[in-house]
Amino acid sequence: MTLAFIFPGQGSQDIGMGKALAEAFPAARAVFEEVDAALGQNLSGLMWGGDLAELTLTSNAQPALMAHSVAAYRALEANFGVTVKDATFVAGHSLGEYSALAAAGSISLADTARLLRIRGNAMQSAVKPGEGAMAALLGAEVEQAEAACAAGRATGGACEIANDNAPGQLVISGTREAIDAAVAWSQANGVKKAMALNVSAPFHCSLMQPAADAMAGALATTDIKAPLVPLVANVSASAVTDPETIRQNLVRQVTGRVRWTESVQFMVREGVTMTGEVGNGKVLTVMQRRIEKSLNGFTLGAPEDLEAFAKALRGEA
């Protein structure tokens, strides 16, 4: 089987995430300790026994999800001998792209934690509370979502496709008035379900330009190496290894569409038959069933997951 490691994005967080890994594997525990030190915060304590509302704050959720993902990967590597070099590609959904780059040796763990803290704060502060919104369009084709966004922009506000997650699972983002107009258009024009999302900011649209500018500054001084295996980038849905291209893509990603459907389709065309979703939850594994049913997906968030995955790679029962 040809493997790709995929890394989840925001929304997968919950209290207790990563605790079992830290208790079972020293390599995982070391990741949480390094992230805590890099941020000057007991983030692991918040993850394992804190308040969910505080953990869900963008500035906390982003580095927390990355820490869990990298902890799972490091434990897989140290305890079961499975490394990123066993994969053909890595890919991550939105902030998960940073997790993928950390696992693939492109950005150091400490730098990744600091970048995600900057990214989370910048995305949260880019738009005043209440001015932006996002909505899910379920059962919609991309062309319908584009038409809904055009109806939204007729109000004079921003309205763009933020995430193409899977066939029939699209998310739009923009000003509240524009999103409301796009939802109304969708409901009147055959979209199965159009509903506002409970989010703190309008991510992945042009309103995030101040956050993109902040990330351009932060990334300009970050050491980025070529990843050990190619990264399938959100903004291009193609494989990249050049550090400068990665740097530019991470800036573009803040305002750009997460082209996840196309990213999975690209990996399948390149021969990928198995994915390991490294980190908390199973959102990407569920989405990929809608994209390509032939993919064999594993979730790698708990100690027992890692052992089962390693056995599957070795062809053991």
Render pLDDT for 179-198 as a digit per residue (tens, 0 to 9).
Answer: 999 999 999 999 999 999 98
Q: Is 94 a catalytic residue?
A: yes
Place of tokens 């605790």: 19
Cα-flanking dihedrals φ and ψ of residue 164, to 5°? -105, 90
12, 108, 204, 263: the active-site residue: 204
User: Do the strands 169-175 and 159-166 form a parallel or antiparallel pair, or are they unpaired?
Assistant: antiparallel
pLDDT at 199: 87
pTM for the structure as a whole = 0.96
Give me the domains of the chain, ranges plus CATH numbers.
3-125+208-313 (3.40.366.10), 132-199 (3.30.70.250)
Cα angle: 123, vertex 128, 129; to 5 degrees? 95
Confidence band, pLDDT 50/70/90 cuts, at residue 12: confident
- With 0-12 CB in 10 A as exposed, 13-18 as middle and 19+ as buried, what is 273? middle
CB under 8 Å to 130, separation ≥6 — which residues?
A: 176
94, 99, 173, 186: the active-site residue: 94
pLDDT at 1: 79
pLDDT at 264: 98
The helices-and-strands tally (H runs, E runs) of the chain is: 14, 10
Q: Is 204 a catalytic residue?
A: yes
- Widest distance between CA atoms in the chain: 59
For residue 163, pLDDT over 60 is answered with: yes
Percentage of the chain surpassing pLDDT 70? 100
Render pLDDT for 102-132 as a digit per residue (tens, 0 to 9).
Answer: 999 999 999 999 999 999 999 999 999 889 9
Percentage of the chain surpassing pLDDT 90? 95
Render pLDDT for 199-213 as a digit per residue (tens, 0 to 9).
Answer: 889 999 999 999 999
Render pLDDT for 270-297 as a digit per residue (tens, 0 to 9).
Answer: 999 999 999 999 999 999 999 999 999 9
Render pLDDT for 304-315 as a digit per residue (tens, 0 to 9).
Answer: 999 999 999 988
Confidence band, pLDDT 50/70/90 cuts, at residue 266: very high
Mean pLDDT (whole number) for 50-79: 96
Strands (E) across 74-192 are located at: 89-92, 132-138, 159-166, 169-175
Confidence band, pLDDT 50/70/90 cuts, at residue 317: low
User: Rounded CA gap, 225 and 241, in Å?
Assistant: 9
Average pLDDT, the chain: 96
The answer to whether 163 and 97 have CB atoms below 8 angstroms apart is no
